[in-house]
Amino acid sequence: MTEHTPGRPDDLAVGSLVAGYRLDGRIGRGGMAVVFRAYDHRLDRLVALKVLSPELASDAAFRQRFIRESRAAAAVDDPHIIPVFEAGESEGVLFIAMRFVRGGDVGSLVDRVGPLPAARAAEIIAQTASALDAAHAIGLVHRDVKPANMLLDGSPSHDRPDHVYLSDFGLSKASLAVTGLTASGQFLGTLNYIAPEQIEGRPVDGRTDQYALACATFELLCGQPPFSREDGVQVIYAQLHEQPPSLRRRRPELPAEVDDVIATALAKSPDDRYPSCGDFAAALRTALGLGTAGADSGPLRPHPATELAMPAVADEPGAGEPSAEAAARGAGIAAAAPAQPFAPVDPSRGRPSAPAGEETQTAEPSSGPQLPQATRPAAGAAAPGGDTRRGLTEPMGAGRSANGSTASDDFDSPGPPGAPRRSWWRSPLAIGLLVVAALAIGGAIAAATSGHGKGGGHGTSVLRTVSLPGCTTATAKAPTLSGVASATTVTGGSPFGVAVTPDGQYTFVTVGNAVEVLRNTGSLTPTLVQTIAASGADKGDSFTSDGKYLVAAANSGAVVINVAQAVQGAPDPIAGWLTSPSGKGAVEVLISADNEFAFVTLQGSAEMAVFNLRAALTQGFSAADFIGYVPLGNQPVGMASDGTFIYVTNLGGTLSVVSAKEAETTPTSAVVTTLNDGCGSARALLSANNKVLWVTARQSDALLAFDTARLVSDPQHALIGKVMVGEVPLGEIFVDHGTRIVIADSNLNGLRTATSNLAVVDTAAVLDGKPALLGYVPTGLLPRQLAVAGDGSTLLVTDQNSHELQAVRVADLP
């Protein structure tokens, strides 16, 4: 094994060595770095290895300052700062090796369970404040404090409370500003936690971190940050000009004094905040009636250097290549001014006095800075990803006009009456702000073109809940759709699974002990390329995101097929088999976004099998590829994943929510919750923004819509829409940019009063509680699974009993 020096961190392959650390898998990616789970063979331990982008590593001044500050952070004597084992450079690769913490991050915790009990939230904040004050004492300012950077070391219990680590020192201070990288497109910070002085490019100190900590506190106590808005520009304006909302209005059981504490820590001027983060945490505890004990009031649990741990990687959907909306979600901003030490305290005010020369006035409320028409977001438009809360720091383009001047040169921000107009639009922030505005416009376009609006099932404004349907054989009434062009192709078996290559050129169909490969010709009749013998391949199939491999459910696992060889007609394109030791009845396959893991539902043994797909492909298929079983029960069949959770349908009428990360590491404990979801659920489908889960309830003859945010935090109120669709609905798929769902009504019960068909449903109407079933398209005897071919113009349906693949022209659907 040799050292590998990549052009970019993403180029690093599993098994490569970086500075003596073996890369075992990628666990996250942000705008400036990729984080790997790595093995330190010298000390026989796992570490989290963060590899920085080459743009940063190529700057000599940044390299020196980064290593110096990372080592300084590692030397801070506080039990709540993530231990840094090493920071340095190896053959052009800039890296940090730190403790690998298994407990996940606080942001994910809040996403999973909702607002935290006051005592638990206060304890987390106290420990984070301890870490920040220790860093501030030696002149380090974090500048990106948020729940996603607060790591939990294991699961708490009565005698083992949370132990919190604060991560990402070394990247979140003034290093980029000092090297000039802020001017060339690198910005730091996360909008929902960014302080006004950081936005305006003024000097920052520990009170800047306190502001972010207060935003995080608000989120821990009520489930969202104080200034959460529809797009980035609105968040920035709120951070600069608006007062924080009342926590007590959202949680009436909290004492009124909590609002005063939060308001002080969120003061627009640093002078009006608490002298330190510890003072803020102590005031919070007092206001909550928890006494004055802080993070270190009791003995700390030991944390030996060899203990395994996991760093926070915010909102990383399966650690794969993110969509444009996911990348934009983490767009952040940082000031260009270097970090300043804490200001001295003015005894007369009990607050720090401003450093000499620092502008401390608070901008008066106004109508807000007006962007030029070309850069204003469309009314009601959401920025890509919608929510800036959980994003990682991302790079942002510098965006200049044709003559080389910055796009914001003509705009000033309003200030107090009589004060000179401060041209913060001319600060380094302006570049980033205009990019945020551009992203908001992009979000509006995306909503119109890719189903991220209401038709795509965003569910952000849907607060109503509906009751679960019971079992029924009632048949929904809807017209048969005329004028819908379709054609059928006879297959060589009993077709079930159907999947189209990412380029849209080929279709793979499981036909029972074989997989057929067809070439999409642009017409409604694809042509057969070859039939691949594969014993047991008679259920669902799925492609890796790069389109290199098809993984088809078979027996106790899956068969893996080399796509390039298959479409060229190679006689044996099977790469290998994934086999679990005791599972049976494989039904569906889900591939993690980074293509590292394969998940297979095993209907016959009530489990989900987890395999290391990447290891199988790189090291040869063997029994070692099997990681373990996730126990599910109730005949699991369908799956969908947003990267954080895997949603599994069960024919027994339950929906299991599984932690994706736990499934990859400790599958036996990966189930987060299981809830009723109708009568005999079959398939699961996530909206483009992952906010709505669509489930076909086969014995309820219905399509159900669940709010994914509530599935864990408030499952009793997670069902937000339902519509009767036909007899025994099975497969489902989005068409027309997510504004429609087409469902395979199988009539599996063989009722004489019903027929098999394709139901066409208006997604927005379902969420609005309006009539949503638009009509039926006739099919053969037992339609099962669906896929979309080409450029989205053709819908493909497997018909198990007719032994046909049906193609339907999407443009003809209502």
Write out the catalytic residue numbers.
144
* Nearest alpha carbon to residue 785 among 730, 710, 713: 730
Angle at 30 (CA atoms; ends 686, 459), nearest 5 degrees: 25
One-letter amino acid for residue 509 of the chain:
V
Nearest alpha-carbon partner for 166 in 191, 142, 190: 142
The span from the CA of 383 to the CA of 394, in Å, is 15
Give CA separation, 495 vs 49, 530, 560, in Å: 45, 15, 18
- Classify residue 19 by its DSSP letter: T
* 8 A C-beta contact, residue 112 and residue 106: no
Q: Spell out the alpha helix ranges (H) of 25-105.
A: 54-57, 60-74
DSSP string, 491-524: -SS----EEE-TTSSEEEEE-SSEEEEEE--SSS
Report the 10 Å Cβ neighbour count for 546.
11
3-state helix, strand, coil in the chain (%, to 5): 25, 30, 45
> Which of these, 247, 243, 261, lies nearest to 116 by C-alpha position?
247
Q: Which H or E run contains 211?
A: helix 206-222
CA 588/CA 331 separation, integer angstroms: 35
Contact in structure between 708 and 691 (CB atoms under 8 Å)? yes
Token pair of 24 as six digits: 């075992």
Backbone angles phi, psi at 709, to 5 degrees: -65, -30
The helix (H) or strand (E) run that includes residue 542 is strand 541-543
Query: Could you identify the residue written with the tokens 């069960």?
Result: 650
Q: What tokens does 189 get?
A: 């910070």
Q: Which two tokens stand for residue 351?
A: 């607050």
List the beta strands (DSSP E) in 585-728.
586-591, 597-602, 607-612, 626-631, 636-641, 645-650, 654-659, 671-676, 681-686, 692-697, 702-707, 719-724
3-state DSSP assignment of residue 482: coil
Q: How far, in Å, CA of 118 to CA of 115, rounded? A: 9
CA–CA distance, 654 with 636 (Å, rounded to integer): 9
Q: Please, what's the b/e burial string for 234-250 (b: 16 or more CB within 10 A of its CB; e: otherwise)?
A: bbbbbbbbeebbbbbee
SS3 316: coil
Largest Cα–Cα separation, the chain = 87
Distance, in Å, from the CA atom of 5 to the CA atom of 23, rounded to the nearest integer, reads 13
Check: CB of residue 419 under 8 Å from CB of residue 361: yes
DSSP string, 218-240: HHHHHSS-TT--SSHHHHHHHHH
Helix or strand holding residue 29 (H, E): strand 21-29
Q: Which residues pair with 513 in a beta bridge?
A: none
Cβ(225)–Cβ(190) under 8 Å? no
* Separation between Cα atoms, residue 20 and residue 376, nearest integer Å: 49
* Cα–Cα distance, 135 to 131 (Å, whole number): 6
Say how many CA atoms lie within 13 Å of 435 toward its Cβ: 22
What are the start-end ranges of the E strands in 593-680? 597-602, 607-612, 626-631, 636-641, 645-650, 654-659, 671-676
